[in-house]
Structure formats: structure tokens, C-alpha cells
Amino acid sequence: MINPRYIRFYALSVISQADYERVVSSKSQANRSTYEVALRLFDAFLNIINAVVGVGFTDQILLAFRGFLLIEVEANAESVYRYHRAICHMMPDFGFQYFEIFKNKSEEYKGSCKSIYNALDKSKKMIRFYSGWYVRAGDGRIHFAYLIDVYNAYGEAVANKFHIALKHYAKRYPTATARTKIGDIKKLMGYICADFPNRDAYSLLFDPTEINVYFGYLFNYLYLDRLAVDGEISLFCDEWRGLVVIIVDFLVEYKLIGEPLYAIYKTTYKRATGHSRNNSEVSKRYISTLTNIPLHVTTDEAADIIFNKIVDDLDVVVSACETTRKIILDQHYTRTGLARLGKVSDEGMSKDEKKKLENQCATWEKYNYSVVSEKERGKLYGDPANISERLGLITNSSLQAHLYLLVVELPAITPSWLVKFEVVDKYTHEYGLRPDGSFAVSEKSRRGHEHAQQPIKLTPKAKTLFREIMMLTAQQREHLKSIGDDNWRFLLLSPGKGYSTPQRIKSIQYINTNLYSTSILQAILKDRLGDADVQNPDGVYQNISLRCIRASAALKVYFNTGSCQAMADALGHTAVIDDLLGRYLPPQLKAFFMNRWIRIFLNALTYEIMKDSPYLFDSVDFRTFDDLDQFLKLHKLKALPEHLFLGRYGAPKDEVIKQFNQAVVPISPALCTLLVTMKKMIDDDRLVGIRHVNEIDSWYQTARFLELSTNLHMDGKVLCSSQEAVEMFSGAKYSPALANKLKSVIRCCNSGSAS
């Protein structure tokens, strides 16, 4: 059957490109995607029945199109209705009368439309063409094979030969790899079909000499094109090697072209000696963050601005998400609260009574997604127009804020982990969330089959976010379960519109896509970022996605800890990747961050080793803040000078470091244990919104400073102290017994909690 999802890859055959763009551009942004798909399906339909939009065009053609949608297109009843309605609405754009025949939804009408379509002469060959080609990856997932160019250039027989080969080839790989390979084949065949546009020309690729000549030419063409675009030759070389693998392992191995006379040129580009694929400063692809990070900066001041912006941009997005989350939850609680006050609609209720908000809420809570007919909704709600907005129903964008906040809280979460998240397994056993809420379990596509399953320990906030998502999707889950749809088992569910049949969310797009054009979060982000950023192709708004938010959150972990291990742990990596930070930051910016710390230890700070008993706290009791303060003073630990407080991105302000005398920080086993314990307690308090007085915060800053500088030293980035001092602090552990003694002191000295 014809899948509307892939119809956009087919060139228009009957409707001109100019007419297509003219008609589609006149439609509202919110509905444009529906009109685009409908018009392309209509073009395919006209091509299949060998008709045109012109002389002799009648409403019978539109009735036959409805039959075509019902018989040949892979779409549910609601989608068929939308596509048919869209074409009827577009008829005046082509100079024809506006037909309202789409409104009839009876089974008799559908049968009549099918009969009209079946009676037409149609090309079975074209139906096969638009139905496309599909292959199955090694893990059973199905993918579309983009063989349209091959079909158009060389015909159905050659396309079928490619399809058979690709079926075998895709089975070698798991989904993620298979998808990449299919994309590379599509790209390569696009070049080949353009350069060898017919069967006779294509036959030249069975001449060994011609094969080497052509791919040498293609290499030179793509190389010069990349030079003109951005000069990233190292990236081009990586991409070219990927294409050579496709040439050898797919085209040659499956005899789709001949054997080359000699090995296809793979480029002689080599990375610097001693640098691995991951840590080459010349050739890496940097992972995208919310902030567009330049490859080069000219001054430390410019670098300082960029580092601050990385954190600021993330904070803006988080703030917008929290506002959106509150609005979404308020709408949910308002609707369920009003429902308890209202009456469920029945035949004896007047239209005015049905239109009362509390009655509509009560009616929704009873019937929700079980009523799909617009006519039936009209009977129930009095006026079904804008019912989704009035009742604050869940839409395809309602969960975005929660998902973004989850990734900020736990950067180990990836898009694939979320979309695969199962609340229960296929045997209906609890799976995704542990009963005590301590862990969540799902799978990551790229971790390989053996390590696909990944449990993630949940923070208190993450637990709350999961509970809210479950609450917001509860009605959808119950409805899908009631109709026998297995998708009810998955966490992420959403209707296309507020009242249409729920579906599983299988992909999470960038926030700026048309899919989220009516999104509350999108509107708030546009307002807070401003027009200048929204219109800027390099602005934050264009980068807002789960992946970019995850990357920014991972950098923030590094800024806070100075530890690549902590960053790797936060990302859910099973091992620290060589030069992990180098995958996110260009060399100049990394050097700026490290050089600032080097200046701190040259000019501003000295650690002094002291001795004390490891059993010191056994005989110490802290009853008041004064007790704690006196203990620290006796051990010569002064409050950390404010000019050494860690800034927005984990380093003190450089411009003030040289204005002060060196600070001396005493280090002993007992002090380190005290600071580590105190820091964890304050971190836990901050997770629930508790803030502390300046004196407590000062000791917290000292603990943060020691932790970050020690991590930098252990990672080999900065020589901050003697090995003895580093081992002393890194070996200090959180002490539950000490925490119990400190609890009353620290908790009574807080300056209020977040509401």
C-alpha cells in the first residue's frame, strides 16, 4: 500500500511544481502539512488513472479519489477524511467548484467511492511504484528503501534487483546502522542516476576501467564542492570512506555494478600521530548544543561570553519548559476539577447546557477518545469547534516540556530511550518503572544488542516528571487498551489533535517544526528568545531538540564537576570516551577553560596538608551553627574568598583573580569528609528548592571548589596540588553518621524553600 509518510519523496507527475507551491503556500501554517500530503497523493492518483486537472474534470474524480484513499493508501479513517477534505477545499485554487462531498462518512458512501475507483482504468505498475520498497533490518525493524531515482532512471526491473539486494544487505545490521546505510545508498544512487541517466549509460558501470574513472571523478567533484561550502575536508573524507564501503560491500558484492579494475580511492588523509578517531582535534564532528559554538575565538573575553551563554541558553529553555509544564498541569487539573462539578451530556440536555464548560469537561471524562465522528461530537458537546483548546486536552506537543526537563535532569536519557520506553512489557508485566520509582529502564538503539537495555537511577524531580507524564497520558492509555491497540504499553502517547485517536510517539522532532506549530512551549520560547534569535539560522531556537539539550546539560555537568568521568556517567556511557570534552568543545575553548584554572593555582590558591585523626567525628557533636563554625576555625579552614567562588560555568571570574593575595586552604582527612558530606546534603536540599544562609553557602563553595579542582587534576588537565592532597580529597566519602549530626545545624540555617 502507499504510505503517505514517504509520498513527499516522489516527484510530481501531473500537477506542476508551480501550481503545487502556489496552492500550498496559500494555506495556514497549522494545516499546511496535511495539504502537502493530500496534494501529492492526489497527484499520484491522477498519474495512476492517467487523468489531469483540466477539461472534463468532475466530482466523480473526487469520489474516485476517496475510493483510492480507502483502497490503496495506508491511512486510518480520520486521515482519509482529512486528505479528501483538503483536496475538496483546494478545488477553487485550480478553478473548479468547491465540493462538499467529503462530509459524508457513511459506509454506503465509502462503498460507492470504492466502486467508482475500481471501475476506472488504472496502472498497476504505477500503483507498485508509489507503494515503494521496504526492507527489514537485522532486528526486524522495517525501513523504506529510497529506490525512486533507480526506478525513474533504469525502470522497474533494475529497481527490483536493487530491492532484492538491499533486503539481504539490510539484514546484516541493527536498525540504526541499517538506516544510515540506506541513507548512504540513496545519496550515492542519486549521484549515479544523475550521471548515468538511462539503462545504456548505466551499463558503462560494468566496465572495470569506467568504474574507476567515474568514482575518481565523483571524488574530485564532491571534494571541490565541500571546499566551496565549508572547507571541512576531514568530514568529507569520513563521508567518502562511508560511500566507498557502500560501493564495495553493496554495489559490487551484489553485482549491481562490475568489479573495479583496482581498489576505489579512499583518500590518503591521515590524522595526527598519536590521535585516535575520537580525539583528533582536526577531524572530529562536534556534538551540537543549544548554543552555536564557534570553532575559533580570538580573545579570552569572547570565550568567557560563549561559556556563559552555554549555561544561560540552557537556563532559558529550562525556565520556558517549567512555565509550560505548569500550564499543562493546570489545564489538566482544571478540566478534571470542573468535570466533578458538571453533568455528562445526554439526549435530554439542551444545547446551551451541553456548551457549559463544566458539562463539557464531565462529558469528556466519560467518553474522551471513544467518539471520533464530528457529528457525534456535535451532539455531545453542543459545539465541538475548538473543543481541544477549551478543555486543555493533550496534543502532540503537550509532553515536550516534560521530556526536555527529564533530559536536563538525567542526560543519560536519549530520544531513542524515551520513544522505546515501555510501561509494561508484551506480557503486560511492569517493565519501565520500578515499583519503588527508583529506576527507569528502556533501550538505546546505538548501544548494540548486548547493551541495549539501560536502567537509569531517577532523581526526585525525575520521579515527579515520570508520574506527571503517566497521569497526562492515562486516558489515552486506557482507550488504546480498550480497543486492543498494543501501543498502550508505551510511555509516550499523543493524539494528532486533542480529540483524535491516540497513537504512540515514535520520534521527537525539533521544537521549530510545523508539527508543533500550535505548541504552548513553542510560543513561550519564541517570546523569551525574541525575534532576532528565532529568525537567526544559528540561533538557540533552531537548535532546540532533545539531543542538543542533552549535550548542553552534559557540558553543565562538566562545568560543575571538572570531571570527564562525571560527565560520562551523566550521559550513561559505560566507559569514559577518550577526550570526551573534545567532542563538544573546539580546542581553543577547551584551552581557555584549562588555562584559567592554571592561572588560579599559579596566582590565587595554595593547599596546605594537615594531619588529624580519622575518628575525630566520633567525639564531636554539632548542636548549633556556632559549634560547626568554631570547629572549622579550629582547623584553620576559613571561608573561601568570594573572588574564588565558582561562576556560571565552573570557573572563578578571571579578571579579579590577580587582585587578591593567595588564599591558603587547609586539607585534612576530617575536613575533607566534612566538606564532602556537607556538599551532598546541600545538593540534596537544592533539589527540593531549599536555600541556605551565606555562611553555609560559603563552606559549600569551598567543597565545590575542592571537588572540581581535584577532578581536573585527576583527569590530567591541571596540576593543582600535590598528589597527597588530591588523594586525600578524592578518597573522602560521604558519612551518613556525620550527616545525621550536621542535619539539625544545616537544615535550621536555611533561608527558605522554593514554593
Q: What is each CA distance from 240 to 222, 247, 251, 272, in whole angstroms?
A: 9, 10, 15, 19
Domain boundary pick from 81, 109, 130: 130
Please provide residue 209's backbone torsions phi and psi, each rounded to the nearest 5 degrees.
-65, -45
pLDDT at 214 over 60: yes
Residue 35: domain span: 7-130
Is residue 301, in this structure, part of any structural domain at all?
A: no
pLDDT value at position 498?
A: 62
- Whether residue 245 sits in one domain with residue 184: yes
Q: Following CA atoms 534, 540, 543, 548 in sequence, which dihedral angle do they give, to the nearest 10 degrees?
A: -160
Is residue 277, in this structure, part of any structural domain at all?
A: no
Is residue 174, in this structure, part of any structural domain at all?
A: yes
- Whether residue 648 sits in one domain with residue 627: no
Sequential DSSP letters for 57-123: --HHHHHHHHHHHHHHB---HHHHHHHHHHHHHHGGGGT-PPP-GGG---HHHHHHHHHHHHTS---
Domain boundary pick from 470, 490, 508: 508
- Whether residue 668 sits in one domain with residue 625: no
Q: Do residues 146 and 170 touch, judged by C-beta distance below 8 A?
A: no
Is residue 416, in this structure, part of any structural domain at all?
A: yes
- Whether residue 14 sits in one domain with residue 117: yes
- Whether residue 46 sits in one domain with residue 145: no
- Whether residue 194 sits in one domain with residue 227: yes
pLDDT value at position 630?
A: 76
- Whether residue 654 sits in one domain with residue 629: no
Is residue 147, in this structure, part of any structural domain at all?
A: yes
Mean pLDDT of the chain: 82
Is residue 199, in this structure, part of any structural domain at all?
A: yes
Is residue 298, in this structure, part of any structural domain at all?
A: no
Q: Do residues 584 and 551 touch, judged by C-beta distance below 8 A?
A: yes
Assign 220 a pLDDT band (cuts: 50, 70, 90).
Answer: confident
Per cent of the chain over pLDDT 90 is 38
Domain boundary pick from 86, 108, 130: 130
- Whether residue 141 sits in one domain with residue 241: yes
pLDDT at 272 over 50: no
- Whether residue 481 sits in one domain with residue 422: yes
- Whether residue 245 sits in one domain with residue 229: yes
Asked which of 234-243, 308-317, 677-686, 689-698 is least confident by mean pLDDT, the reply is 689-698
pLDDT digits (tens, 9 = 90+) for 130-183: 999 999 998 888 999 999 999 999 999 999 999 999 999 999 888 888 888 999
Per cent of the chain over pLDDT 70 is 81
**Residue 641 vs residue 293, higher pLDDT:** 293
Q: What is each CA distance from 53 to 13, 73, 202, 546, 572, in whole angstroms?
A: 12, 21, 35, 43, 56
Helix (H) or strand (E) holding 442: strand 439-443
Domain count, the chain: 6
Q: Do residues 587 and 284 touch, judged by C-beta distance below 8 A?
A: no
pLDDT digits (tens, 9 = 90+) for 185-197: 999 999 999 999 9
Asked which of 198-212, 430-444, 527-541 is least confident by mean pLDDT, the reply is 430-444
Is residue 624, in this structure, part of any structural domain at all?
A: yes
- Whether residue 439 sits in one domain with residue 501: yes
Considering only CA atoms, which of 596, 568, 600 is closest in space to residue 582? Answer: 568
pLDDT at 595 over 70: no
pLDDT digits (tens, 9 = 90+) for 472-531: 999 999 999 999 999 999 999 998 666 788 999 988 988 988 888 889 999 999 999 988
- Whether residue 360 sits in one domain with residue 436: no
